[in-house]
Chains A and B, each alone.
Chain A
Amino acid sequence: MSAQLLQFLLSGLTVGAIYALVALGFAIIYNASNVINFAQGEFVMIGGMAAAAFIDSGLPLPLSVLFSVTLATLVGLLLEKLAVEPARGAPVVTLIIITIGASILLRGLAALVWDKKIHPLPAFSGEAPIAVGGATLLPQALWVLGTTLATVAALWWFFNRTLTGKAMLAVSHNRLAAQLMGISVSRVLAVSFGLSAALGALAGVLIAPISFTAWDVGVMLGLKGFAAAMLGGIGSGPGAVAGGLALGLIEALGAGYLSSAYKDVFAFIVLLAALVFLPNGLVGRRAAERV
């Protein structure tokens, strides 16, 4: 394997891991509420921007990360309580516009509370690149990959081994039946928004030392996460991770070998092809429509 190819694969996996975290957020909210949350990218932005602000105010890095993820989680809970809950049962387009409105609102607030400048974040453990078989790897990329791996493992444990996680799966399968078994659907909804926001913010903090952060980074990251979730098959956890990594690799290889200006386009062309030829995503189940 040439060093160049290895380099593209490594950077593709790093970005792909971030897309996977955002896509997991989409999937969790979609499963609990059938809502596609277009404000998902703003959680990524809040994570990065808040962490940068906390560090500027003199807090140590671990505390800054903790506080910024907590802040985003609170925003996620508020979004669910104030905007999604009151509109329950509204048509799909209406819900899409509510979450787009929320993303515009959050972007505006971020520009007001912080500013419209681009903020760097210090790397978690130094900037010295590590040589891997002729390619180089930033220590921060290891943080991204490791944290994503740990998060996916933790999520697996949460959804398969805890009562709350199982309740969330039950609601995603059949909301009414879950409710009849005594599961509080409104609590499941709240948890799903909080959890997705935390995942998004984590992604934002992890990627900020590599690609910087700003008040408007959420738009593209959110769309890529949505694309990754769709590529994997919406609502599927393993699908979201696979979709995210695939999207990251496609982008890195396309940008490296074909054209860096069209980086964003390759992802969407592959996505369109996948949607047309595999209408249920990579691992999505074939849905039967009830008439």
Chain B
Amino acid sequence: MSAAAQPSASRRGFLALALIVALLPLALPNNYTYEIAIVVGLNAIVCVGLNLLIGYAGQISLGHAGFFGLGAYGTAILAARYGWPPALSLPVSVLAVAALAWLVGRPVLRLKGHYLAMATLGLGIIVSVVLATEDRITGGPDGMAVPPLWVTGEKSWYWIVAGTLLAVVWLAQNLIDSPRGRAWRALHGAEIAAGAVGIDAARHKLAAFVLSAALAALAGALSAHYAGFITPSRASFLHSIELVTMVVFGGMASTLGAVLGAAVLTTLPQLLAVFKDYELVALGALMMLTMIFMPRGLVPTLEKALDAARRKPR
């Protein structure tokens, strides 16, 4: 794909996504399917942000569920324990998580590769243990109830999440095509070379980290108000892994891939539930098979296949 064709391709992708999101309610027969669609949307918001960090800036994080959990608990505690209106507690919680990410990101992002993976994993575990242990504030392992947002009901929530997702995708696509996005890709490819042409690697990495953490916190806060209840498992290591898997499964460095990855891997466990005892086995086997046969992920692999088919002379 040439550089000149990219903006129009991502614009087409955005329109296709908007169309699917707008028409999807016609295909959703009941509240249960709405619920799945909403969870898909919330996961997709996290994944689009995480993809900016992993796929574009090339920095791995195995602890983003920690930010998701902090966003959720932040708004829940402000609203339930201190009586703040959710319209205020939600943005404050997201901003506080962004500030925290900025603080911890500065030392941690100096690490590379497996060391960065370990550090972010450690951060995530610390958050989840703190949430499970400080039971006077968080309700402990049993979780806590969260006051509702000003809207209730699956249908209105669908439009809130869908609108947020589209805004996030639009923001991500514009960022990727901006000088900031080019800087991310440059330091992903070769950090030293990027530094040599005047890109401040530390600053750009930190920006991707803070933005992805804020989006995770936003999705976490929304999910807390939507479900009306949260438990520390939302901040667990396994949830972090699920999120990274969604990004990589859909295809790194592809915003629509992140959305597709979230959609497939959120609905899949619902479908695999028919396997009952074999659910874990099927999920593990699927993760391994897709990564072995499509190491670049779903969307880039499909794009390449389409490209090859188009070029083939008839």
- Minimal Cβ-Cβ distance residue in B for A92: B113
What B residues does A5 contact at CB under 8 A? none
Contacts A101-B283, A272-B123, A276-B108 aside, 20 further interface pairs with beta carbons under 8 A come to A83-B288, A86-B292, A87-B291, A93-B244, A94-B248, A96-B117, A98-B287, A98-B291, A101-B287, A105-B288, A107-B280, A219-B237, A219-B238, A223-B125, A262-B133, A268-B126, A269-B126, A271-B119, A275-B111, A289-B192
> Given the complex of chains A and B, what is the CA–CA distance between A104 and B265 in angstroms?
14
> Given the complex of chains A and B, what is the CA–CA distance between A240 and B211 in angstroms?
35
- Minimal Cβ-Cβ distance residue in A for B114: A36
Instruction: Decide: A275 near B118, CB < 8 A? Known: A87-B292, A97-B291, A264-B125.
Output: yes
| B95 close to A (CB within 8 Å) | no
| A122 close to B (CB within 8 Å) | no
What 3 pairs across the A-B complex have the smallest Cβ distances? A108-B280, A105-B284, A101-B287
| B121 close to A (CB within 8 Å) | yes
Contact between B279 and A108, CB atoms less than 8 A apart: yes
Contact between B280 and A105, CB atoms less than 8 A apart: yes
Interface stretch of the complex, out of A147-155, A190-198, A226-234: A226-234
| A100 close to B (CB within 8 Å) | yes
What A residues does B285 contact at CB under 8 A? 101, 105
Contact between B280 and A87, CB atoms less than 8 A apart: no
Residues of A in contact, count (CB < 8 Å): 44
Contact between B117 and A265, CB atoms less than 8 A apart: no
Contact between B192 and A291, CB atoms less than 8 A apart: yes
Number of A-B contacts (CB under 8 A): 132
Contact between B288 and A92, CB atoms less than 8 A apart: no
> Given the complex of chains A and B, what is the CA–CA distance between A30 and B121 in angstroms?
18
> Given the complex of chains A and B, what is the CA–CA distance between A101 and B284 in angstroms?
4
| B281 close to A (CB within 8 Å) | yes
Q: Which of B54, B121, B288 contacts A223 (CB 8 A)?
A: B121
Instruction: Decide: A262 near B129, CB < 8 A? Known: A97-B248, A111-B280.
Output: yes
What B residues does A96 contact at CB under 8 A? 60, 117, 244
Contact between A100 and B60, CB atoms less than 8 A apart: no
15 A-B residue pairs with Cβ-Cβ distance under 8 Å, sorted by A, are A90-B291, A96-B60, A97-B244, A97-B245, A107-B280, A108-B278, A108-B280, A112-B281, A227-B118, A269-B126, A271-B118, A272-B108, A276-B111, A276-B119, A291-B192
What B residues does A261 contact at CB under 8 A? 129, 133
- Minimal Cβ-Cβ distance residue in A for B127: A265
What B residues does A87 contact at CB under 8 A? 291-292, 295
> Given the complex of chains A and B, what is the CA–CA distance between A230 and B295 in angstroms?
26
Contact between B119 and A102, CB atoms less than 8 A apart: no
| A258 close to B (CB within 8 Å) | no
> Given the complex of chains A and B, what is the CA–CA distance between A87 and B287 in angstroms?
13
